[in-house]
Amino acid sequence: MDEFRNDNDQFNNIDEAKNNPDDGAVNTVHQADGVESDAAGSSVHDSSPEAGVVSDAANGSASAGEDYKITGNPGQGPESFGGQATGMAAGDGVRPPYYSESIKKTRQKRIGAGHLILVSVLSSLLGAAIMFAAVVYIAPMLSTKAVEMLGLPVRTAGVSNTDTGIIKKIEIAETTSPVEAIAEKVGPSIVGIQITVPTRSNFNFFFDIGRSGIGYGSGIIIRDDGYILTNNHVIEAAMASQMSNRLIDGAKIEVILPNNRDKAYKAEIIGRDEKTDIAVLKIDATGLPAAEMGDSDKVRTGQLAVAIGNPGGMNYMGSVTAGVISGINRTIVMDNGQEFKLIQTDAAINPGNSGGALVNSQGQVIGINTIKISATDVEGLGFAIPINEANEIAESLINYRYVKDRPYLGVVIDNSFTKEDAERLKVPVGLLVYDVQPLTAAYKAGIHIGDIIVKFDGKETTTFKELEDQKNLHKPGDEVIVEVYRDGEILSLKVILGEEKKID
């Protein structure tokens, strides 16, 4: 994994030329179970001990334990809130032609006063009869029908005769709400994930007594034979390294089922992908209630959205919040240039919810709850990974234990090196190589620590995103030319791209 790191000891001549960053308003982006910290600008929070993000992390998720700035206004995107609809107003119509005809009138016989009185009395009696029937029989029927059209069961509690007329009392019987039905359907498929990582407290240091750090998250049962979908950042703190699926010595990942909370199942890591923030676990159990998957491509703004997960840990397991789809294809840009294209919802998503389900009105999973933006001036900004994207990554992880056919370069980029630094040092603007992974494509091509990558396959690379976008146009085995600045000259190096794989 190519990784961004902020390391000020490696390049002193560059760091001396830097200015301190300006202070800004603090907005935070939470990823599930991380510890919140404040940084200038908006930040992503989660639980990884790593300080870097690999440069091959295209359009992926943030590593746990880091603070990331987001650019722009994440509450806005391709979808606009509100908007004014315009249309054609109804104007005055053309009046129909009026014909005046001269007709010879026939003199009619006049009606006597007695006849008029009789007709008036009969008309009054008939009108009263019609009104009585309408109030007693027709109106209650229409009222009941109107309530029934809303899908609410009703019953008649009685008819009363008051000073204002006859009133039929209608009571709405106890009913099941859509959210209640969704929770009953999907709730059994949402599990709790508990991560235990050995740490050491200052108090116990002299006694060499370790204590365990515990983190929590959520997951979705996707197969009845024990496969569980979650976020990579939920489990990443327990990993031995970014390029490994192995656990730290003494660490463990356990799964708690909602219908058997007293038993913790040991979880096997099938595969994980930090670039899309997807991970797949497996427990030794069968006959599990797999969640029904929806189609995230059909999600529309304004639709019902229900979030199910475990905010705050197992004490609040199976918590349900409801809202709407606030937007689709929302772009969240991390400070390292990585991008997410996510579903936005105002259904509450809190630490511990990560890896849980965002569900539509049919009880189908349409997203994986991942990020919450928290700031003093915004509220209700939660985001989920579209389930279509998550399923595609999950299938590859299950079948191959890694994301197949993803090109790999093998360099670690120092994201603290900026355009301003390059201008002050009078070197080309580009990406400063902090490290080169052994035996990778970059290593074999002769890329060195301290090189500045200025072009990839003939395209300028002044940002991480530009490098990743160009690299991901290729497949493993493709040959590309990478231009680097070294010791005052530009070198063109032939690189045969590798395939990114995790080490089991």
- Locus of tokens 């010879």: 104
CB 438 within 8 A of CB 405: no
Please return the burial class of 58, using the count of CB atoms within 10 Å of its CB with bins 0-12, 13-18 and 19+: buried
Distances (CA, A) of 260 to 196, 257, 279, 459: 20, 5, 23, 55
How far, in Å, CA of 452 to CA of 455, rounded? 9
How far, in Å, CA of 373 to CA of 352, rounded? 14
Using only C-alpha atoms, the chain has a radius of gyration, in whole angstroms, of 33
Distances (CA, A) of 268 to 219, 265, 281, 368, 369: 14, 10, 6, 20, 22
- Amino acid letter at 88? M
How far, in Å, CA of 398 to CA of 386, rounded? 19
Q: For residue 244, what is the DSSP state?
A: B
3-state SS assignment for residue 135:
helix
Q: For residue 68, what is the DSSP state?
A: -
How far, in Å, CA of 314 to CA of 194, rounded? 8
CB 229 within 8 A of CB 278: yes
3-state SS assignment for residue 360:
coil
Beta strand 26-31 pairing with 41-45: parallel
Could you give the residue numbers annotated as active site? 233, 277, 354
The structure tokens listed for 169 are: 């009392």
CB 267 within 8 A of CB 279: no
CB 190 within 8 A of CB 318: yes
Which one, of 278, 304, 300, lies nearest residue 220 by Cα? Answer: 278
CB 483 within 8 A of CB 445: no
How far, in Å, CA of 391 to CA of 367, rounded? 10
The structure tokens listed for 140 are: 């209650």
3-state SS assignment for residue 39:
coil
